[in-house]
Structure 1
Amino acid sequence: MPTERITFQGHDSTLAARLDLPDGPHLTTALFAHCFTCGKDIPAARRIAARLSAMGIAVLRFDFTGLGHSEGEFSNTTFTSNVADLRAAAAYLETRGMAPSLLIGHSLGGAAVLRAAPDIASVKAVTTIGAPFDPGHVTHNFGDALDEIAAKGKAEVMLGGRPVTLGHDFVKDVEAETLGPIISNMKRALLVLHAPRDEIVDISNATEIFTSAKHPKSFVTLDDADHLVTDPCDAEYAADVISAWAGRYLDLRPPAPPIGAPEGVVRVKEADPAGFLQDIQHGPHHHAVADEPLAYGGTNRGMSPYGFVAAGLGACTSMTIRMYARRKGWPLTGISVDVVHDKVHAQDAETAKDTRVDRFVRRICFDGTLSEDQIQRLLEIADECPVHRTLEKGAQIDTELAVCPSE
């Protein structure tokens, strides 16, 4: 996905952001608010942004005031100032003709998007991940520092393994905020994502958010995920849920292609440089992942490349048989195709003895009261499958060098 590094004016300082853009048509825009003291580049935010941009949804993720690459003093910020930064981000997007229709907030960022949503007219849907119902909930992480903040006006606390200076205004502001009435009158579709074992923000917060909201609303568990959604599998799941859910409430219909345009491009992008996980996107609506088994250094989160080849052969075989049987009016009620791939010695080839070729074995099962002649004819038709012909005859593959967009 092409990514722009941008800056815009926040509530009182310049904020740093990344705008992840679709490779194809831009259908709509999402605005992502990161967790308390985190940043725009945490793995969960990157993964969700990549998944949504593959659907045609541009994603703006930015660092709140005083965090990451943004200017300003974090110790002088409040929950109210975070919400103001969100409004500023939405206003910036509007100046570019990309007013956001989806807000996504993680942890305290989730509380912020709930608070900001009614003030951003373009927003149609809101997603929260591990968000507190009561923003003041975050103060339980401050421990004895609350007394020091009360006495001295600010104090250093350890959050996420690093020291952060918090001021009295922040504590006072979050403790005074009440989201219940705002959520109840938000008038936006809501998706609540939360992990039952979240040790930072208890799942009871998700229950209160969901209960306060009016329909349409959805509640999906993140199972064993931690609060920061650090496991790539959990981030991938959250991204898939958000992208599927958002399509129900946002207008994601792509513009009509020009006459004579190809059906589409299959784009494969590395998702995990430490392993072999790949994101596969065909147009704006079809997504899959490819991987290698654990034994080969992968994480086994998707089919192998040869698995996809076998799937293509099996699917094409079944479709070709169905079209023929439908045209003939034969009583074929079901088809299943098992495909096994391996390498075998090319004993009959006029090459060296150790030459190996690909071998695909199809096992086709027909349901229905078919005659022996009909079954035999359908087996012959299986060989007319276009993918079968491609594999059987071989194909020409032309490789070109493309200029990759820099992040």
Structure 2
Amino acid sequence: MPTEHITIPTARGYELAGALELPTGLVRGAALFAHCFTCTKQSKAAVAVTRALARHGIATLRFDFTGLGGSGGDFGRAGFASDVEDLVASAHHLGERFGGKILLVGHSLGGAAVLAAAGMIGRDRIAGIATIAAPADVPHVLGNIKGDLAAIERDGQGEVTIGGRAFHLSREFLAKTRDIDLPSEVGKLKLPILIAHSPTDQIVGIENASALYEAAKHPKSFISLADADHLLTRPDDAQFIADIIAAWGERYMPMKDDWPLPEEGIVACTGHGKFGTEVHTGSHRFVVDEPRSHGGDDTGPTPYDLLGAALGTCTAMTMKLYADRKGIPFEGARVAVTHERDHAKDCDHCEEEGMQVQALNRVITLLGDELTEDQRSKLIEIADKCPVHGTLEGHLHIHTEVG
């Protein structure tokens, strides 16, 4: 996906480092992702979920909390309250750029942070909130810190280890992390909430999801991430919950009403990335792209893929229509189409000098053991009568006007 690296100013005088994952097509809406405790915006779950949401047309921002990754500030003095402030600043940035309501998505402590930040961001600016493996008890994270917390309380600061990494924490960090009653905050939100959790989570137990769900007001939903680990290290788990969040979010973040919906034909709209382009028909939307080998993001078929698809699908449809009408025991067909862009060198009937002759090579495999040779021959003959075949071999003119 096209990734835009941005910086977000904070009221505390330093900047947060962010990565905005953009759809290769048009933007339906925007989402803000908060990563897990001591992770960064480059954690596996953060990257996987934000890019998956972008594939659904949701521009998604992930960023490093204060003092982590590429962000400024002192992590050792930040604490949970600073995470909430970072989210408010990032949500404001998204709102200014894209307008409309945004989705808030948080993983682990990031999930608790988006729930706590929602009231400060404002209900009128939030489409919905989704949490993944979030703790209901924020001070719970202090249990994952290896060090003498009592000494830090006494002396004002000290060294600890979190997830195998060394950090310098202050008394202020501990105070900011302890001072939050999350279930009470959740009960005040009255926003659509999706709570996702693994019943076998060994770091944040499933009872946390129960507490959050109980505190939340409707509309609320729960998704079980069966067999997933806390950090969503398996790509399939991250992809699954991202797809669920995107589908759930569509209910609260409808398609922008200024998108073109043609009464006939198609409309192609320039998207993001180098080649990303969105195609709209009267009832469908999809993205067209180029492969990575050609500088694209490989998020959709190429224009020549669509050309081959037009011929292949029309061929299959025409043969099936004929077989149904004639009562032929036709079980279907596989039609493979390739595009030969340098056909001129193999063409021995090109009279115009310098003329480039191209070819579509079609291989038709008929399915059905009961077909007779005559029936097979007739179906192949009918294949050449498909409308797209006639259009491509006919005298096709393209008329262009400026809209």
Structure 2 match to 1:239: 242
How big is the shift at 1:174? 2.7
* Letter in structure 1 aligned against 2:174: V
Deviations 1:227-252 (A, max 9, x none): 22122222222221122221122112
Structure 1 match to 2:64: 63
Alignment of 1:105-124 (within 5 A): 105-119=106-120, 120=122, 121-124=124-127
Query: Higher Cα Rg: structure 1 or 2?
Result: 2
Structure 2 match to 1:159: 162
CA distance in 2, matches of 1:191, 1:211: 12
Query: Which shows bigger deviation, 234-243 or 309-318?
Result: 309-318
Alignment of 1:284-323 (within 5 A): 320=318
The 1:127–1:382 alpha-carbon spacing in structure 2 relative to 1, beyond 3 Å, is farther
How big is the shift at 1:312? 8.9
Question: For the Cα contact (< 8 Å) 2:101–2:253, is it kept in 1?
Answer: no
TM-score normalised per structure 1: 0.69
Question: For the Cα contact (< 8 Å) 1:54–1:281, is it kept in 2?
Answer: no
Aligned length: 351
The 1:118–1:148 alpha-carbon spacing in structure 2 relative to 1, beyond 3 Å, is same
How big is the shift at 1:40? 1.2
Structure 1 match to 2:358: none
| 1:16 has 2:10 as partner | no
CA distance in 1, matches of 2:135, 2:331: 48
Give secondary structure in 2 for the equivalent of 1:250: coil
Alignment of 1:4-403 (within 5 A): 4-14=4-14, 15-98=16-99, 100-119=101-120, 120=122, 121-253=124-256, 255-257=258-260, 262=266, 320=318, 337=332, 339=334, 360-363=364-367
Give secondary structure in 1 for the equivalent of 2:126: coil
CA distance in 2, matches of 1:44, 1:389: 49
Question: For the Cα contact (< 8 Å) 1:19–1:59, is it kept in 2?
Answer: yes
Question: For the Cα contact (< 8 Å) 1:142–1:157, is it kept in 2?
Answer: yes
The 1:323–1:167 alpha-carbon spacing in structure 2 relative to 1, beyond 3 Å, is farther
Question: For the Cα contact (< 8 Å) 2:316–2:335, is it kept in 1?
Answer: no
Give secondary structure in 2 for the equivalent of 1:8: strand
* Letter in structure 2 aligned against 1:157: V
Deviations 1:198-238 (A, max 9, x none): 22211221122122222222211222222221222222222
Question: For the Cα contact (< 8 Å) 1:11–1:85, is it kept in 2?
Answer: no
TM-score normalised per structure 2: 0.70
Give secondary structure in 2 for the equivalent of 1:41: coil
Question: For the Cα contact (< 8 Å) 2:87–2:117, is it kept in 1?
Answer: yes
How big is the shift at 1:64? 1.0
Structure 1 match to 2:351: none
CA distance in 2, matches of 1:316, 1:358: 12
Percent of aligned pairs with the same amino acid: 41
* Letter in structure 1 aligned against 2:143: H
Gaps of 5+ in 2: 289-305, 337-345, 347-360, 394-403
Gaps of 5+ in 1: 270-278, 289-307, 342-349, 351-356, 367-373, 394-407
Deviations 1:345-404 (A, max 9, x none): xxxxx9xxxxxx9855342699xxxxxxx99999986775678999x99xxxxxxxxxxx
Question: For the Cα contact (< 8 Å) 2:66–2:78, is it kept in 1?
Answer: yes
Question: For the Cα contact (< 8 Å) 1:90–1:100, is it kept in 2?
Answer: no
How big is the shift at 1:192? 1.4
